[in-house]
Amino acid sequence: MYRRINYLAYMAITCYLLSPRGFCSGVTRAINMADQVLKLYNSAYIIEDIIHNKIFMKEIEKRGIIKVSSIDEIPNDSVVMFSAHGVSPEVIAKAEKKRLTIIDGTCPIVKEIQKAVTKASEEGKKIIVIGNRAHPEITALLGYANNEKVFVVSNEMDVDLLPDFTGEEVMYFTQTTLDYYSIQNVIAHLRKKVPHIKSDSEDNICYATKERQRVVKEIANETDLIIVVGSSYSSNSTRLAEIAQEFGVKKVVQIDDKNDLNLKIFDKVQKCAITSGASVPETIINDLKDFLQSNLDILFEEYVIS
């Protein structure tokens, strides 16, 4: 076999294609909605990337999606599409005031959490959100709670800084794309600090996120390298890379597509695995496979666990 890169002594490599990968249901739904919007209206405004994937967003912006930094910048009577991460009630109110046609791409799972936070807030409960305050899902979610009654924590130190909730009803919720394994300590710490705290479920991490993380954990000790396909600003993709490191994979890379991959990383690698975040199209994985096949002695195997 002709090797374009012949300065490294490659041996045949086994590469596991981890399942599930590719789009999750929420992302598929948002993308289909964006397609429909472009067919119906030719263009639409967004204030947040519809999904966290640089390559997809570049393409969709060429097709007529216009990104602005705030709802205030959108001309009255035009079309706005909200991302899979959702928006706050304040943003919805502004959009309505401007008579915008609203296309709501919010993932139904995120929507359910927004409803639960609204209910808890209306019942006068204090709310603790475990997540990243800067992530659009959390920025939006905070808008559904009374400001004076909501707290955001991302680690055990944040939990230590929470006030005393004695005599008050308290509920916690989590971001949908957290690291399931490392968040267990934060939840345990929170339960210790606030023993009477309640929650609708153990966590709100979505199935798509949890399953990918479980598969990465399972394969971690069988592979020398894990390639995570997904933009660096995609929370669920970055968590996959972190979990691979957390469970001892020696080499972990996170890439947008094949162009980011330096083949030198395959030096001394016998087994590798490819996974992807929930906002990565299968075409990017297929391009990566083709690229690896034309440059390395590599065999692909689907990896599915029950």
Q: Are 110 and 135 in contact (CB under 8 A)?
A: no
Query: Among 209, 213, 223, 234, which residue sits at the site for ligand SF4 (rule: CB under 6 A)?
Result: 209
Peptide bond into 195 cis (omega under 30): no
Least gap, CB of 16 to ligand SF4 (angstroms): 22
Q: Which is nearer to ligand SF4, 213 or 223 (CB)?
A: 213
Q: Which is nearer to ligand SF4, 13 or 109 (CB)?
A: 109
Q: Which is nearer to ligand SF4, 209 or 238 (CB)?
A: 209
Least gap, CB of 155 to ligand SF4 (angstroms): 21
Report how far apart, in Å, the C-alpha atoms of 45 and of each of 49, 134, 203, 244 are.
10, 22, 33, 37
Q: Which is nearer to ligand SF4, 282 or 297 (CB)?
A: 282
For the chain, give the number of residues.
Answer: 306
Q: Which stretch binds ligand SF4 (CB under 6 A): 62-70, 102-110, 157-165, 281-289?
A: 102-110
Query: Among 83, 177, 254, 295, which residue sits at the site for ligand SF4 (rule: CB under 6 A)?
Result: 177
Of residues 306, 175, 290, 288, the one with CA closest to residue 230: 288
243 binds ligand SF4 (CB under 6 A): no
31 binds ligand SF4 (CB under 6 A): no
Query: Among 206, 216, 240, 244, which residue sits at the site for ligand SF4 (rule: CB under 6 A)?
Result: 206
Q: Which is nearer to ligand SF4, 199 or 236 (CB)?
A: 236
112 assigned to active site: no
Report the alpha-carbon angle 97-102-108, nearest 5. Answer: 125
Q: Are 191 and 197 in contact (CB under 8 A)?
A: yes
33 binds ligand SF4 (CB under 6 A): no
236 binds ligand SF4 (CB under 6 A): yes
Q: Which is nearer to ligand SF4, 107 or 285 (CB)?
A: 107
Query: Among 13, 24, 150, 296, which residue sits at the site for ligand SF4 (rule: CB under 6 A)?
Result: 24
Q: Which amino acid is at 85?
A: H
In whole angstroms, give the CA distance from residue 146 to residue 141: 11
Compute φ and ψ for 175, nearest 5 degrees: -65, 150
Active-site position among 48, 137, 202, 242? 137
Query: Among 183, 278, 284, 296, which residue sits at the site for ligand SF4 (rule: CB under 6 A)?
Result: 278
Q: Which stretch binds ligand SF4 (CB under 6 A): 38-46, 123-131, 157-165, 206-214?
A: 206-214
Least gap, CB of 137 to ligand SF4 (angstroms): 7
Query: Among 53, 83, 176, 213, which residue sits at the site for ligand SF4 (rule: CB under 6 A)?
Result: 176
27 binds ligand SF4 (CB under 6 A): yes
Residues with a catalytic annotation lie at 137
* Residues forming the site for ligand SF4 (CB under 6 A): 24-27, 84, 107, 109-110, 176-177, 206, 208-209, 236, 278
